[in-house]
Structures are given as structure tokens and as C-alpha cells.
Amino acid sequence: MKSYQGIVNIEAPLEAVWDFIRDPDAIGRSMPDMVEYQVEDANHLRAKVRVGVGPVRAVFDVAAELTVLPEPYQVRLQMQGGGVGSGFQMVSTMRISESEEQLSLNWTAEVQVSGPLATLGGRVLDNQVKKITQQVFENIRQGLLPRLSG
């Protein structure tokens, strides 16, 4: 399992960010290369997502669960999915921290890939997983912008 982490700075009210990261519809719209998604309830969604690493291209079926953690302003996002004999699992934690000027969305993600995708080689796979993971959190930041202007 590989670990990734990062910080996305957001100029938005705390409650707007908190509401966004607990909303499965907002999280669904934040997934890169989304084909379709469906919110099942307040904590679950299902999606079809395009995945491409090296010569392997597929559409993965993905199940996601959002859990509000006991720590203030912290959420866990668990995702698992697969297609064409490959699969992945991701457990991510998002935590909002506040300073005088802005909010920061601190995130960590542990990702495990199996099947043909996992055999593509460490660097190619690692770079792609890192890119996709970072894009999810950048999309969350971008997804907040319409809520703030509307």
C-alpha cells in the first residue's frame, strides 16, 4: 500500500468546506474522469470512472463511503473498485484546519492497486496514482467555487 499526502488551500468559509466534504454528491463530482455516478444515501455512492495507466485503459466500477470522524472537521473517504481484472482500494482522510487568512484541507491517502495495473512498474503506476489522488482534492477545491459565488 502506497501513502500520499497533501494540502489544498481554500479561501472559503469553514462551514462551506465542511458541508462540501461530507456531501457524497459533491465528492462524486470531484472524481477525475467520471463517466457517471449515483448517490445511494447520505454516506455512499457508486460510480464508473475511466482509468488509464500506460497501455491499460478501462472503466472501473467504484463504491465509495464517507464517514464523519470524531475529530473536529475530519472525514474518511473509503473507495474500492475494479475493472478488466484490476482493482484498487483507497482510504483517505480529509481534515480542515483554519488560520487567520485561509482554510487548509489536509489529506492523506493510502492506495493499493492489484491485477494487471499493479504489474506496470512502480514509477509509472506511482506517478499516475499520485496524479489522480491529487486531482481529486484539487477538484474538491474547484468544486467549492460555484457554491461561494452563488
pLDDT for res 94:
95
- The domain segmentation of the chain, as residue ranges, is 2-149
pLDDT for res 49:
92
Q: Packing angle between helix 122-149 and helix 14-21, nearest 10 degrees? A: 130
| Residue ranges in the chain whose pLDDT is less than 50 | none
Q: Model confidence over 72-108: pLDDT tens digits?
A: 999 999 999 999 888 999 999 999 999 877 899 999 9
Name the residue among 118, 110, 137, 146 with its Cα closest to residue 32.
137
> What is the domain class of 2-149 according to CATH?
alpha beta
pLDDT for res 1:
82
pLDDT for res 121:
61
pLDDT for res 145:
76
pLDDT for res 95:
96
pLDDT for res 132:
82
pLDDT for res 105:
92
pLDDT for res 122:
67
Contact criterion met (CB below 8 Å) for 64 and 24: yes
